[in-house]
Amino acid sequence: MDIASSRRTSKSCTGYTSWKKCNWSGFKKNKLRPHKNDYWCIPSKEDAEFVACMEDVLDVYELPYNSKRPVVCMDEKPYQLLGDARKSLPMRLGDNAKIDSEYIRNGTCSIFVFVEPLGGMHHVSVHEHRKATDWAKEIKYLSDVMFPDAEKIILVMDNLNTHKPASLYKTFPPAEARRIIKRLEIHYTPKHGSWLDMAEIELNVMTRQCLSRRVETIERLRKELSSWKEERNKSKAKIK
3-state secondary structure of 224: helix
C-alpha distances (whole Å) from 191 to each of 158, 195, 203 are 8, 10, 19
- Tell which residue, 81, 112, 82, 75, has the closest CA to residue 99: 82
Phi-psi region of 187 (alpha: psi -120 to 50; beta: other; left: phi over 0): beta
pLDDT (tens digit, 9 = 90+) per residue, 176-232?
999 999 999 999 999 888 899 999 999 999 999 988 888 889 999 999 999 999 999
pLDDT (tens digit, 9 = 90+) per residue, 67-77?
999 999 999 99
Establish how many alpha carbons lie within 13 A of residue 121's alpha carbon, considering only the half-sphere containing its beta carbon.
14
C-alpha distances (whole Å) from 100 to each of 81, 86, 176, 221 are 16, 6, 50, 21
Task: With a cut of 80, say whether residue 121 has pLDDT above it.
Answer: yes
Question: Mean of the per-residue pLDDT values for the chain?
Answer: 85
Q: What percent of the chain has pLDDT over 70?
A: 78
pTM: 0.76
pLDDT (tens digit, 9 = 90+) per residue, 54-64?
999 999 999 99
Band of residue 8 on the pLDDT scale cut at 50, 70, 90: very low
Segment 124-133 shows an average pLDDT of 94
Q: Which domains does the chain carry? A: 48-235 (3.30.420.10)
Buried b (16+ CB within 10 A) or exposed e, 22-33: eeeeeeeeeeee
Spatial separation of the C-alpha atoms in residues 30 and 96, rounded to whole Å: 34
What is the structure's pLDDT at 3? 46
What is the structure's pLDDT at 213? 84
User: For residue 152, what is the DSSP state?
Assistant: -
What is the structure's pLDDT at 194? 87
pLDDT (tens digit, 9 = 90+) per residue, 39-56?
555 556 667 888 999 999
Show the CA angle centred on residue 132, arms to residues 129 and 213, nearest 5°. Answer: 30
C-alpha distances (whole Å) from 61 to each of 64, 75, 106, 184, 239 are 8, 16, 39, 16, 11
Task: With a cut of 80, say whether residue 99 has pLDDT above it.
Answer: no
Segment 123-143 shows an average pLDDT of 96
Q: Which of 41-45, 97-101, 117-121 has the lowest mean pLDDT?
A: 41-45
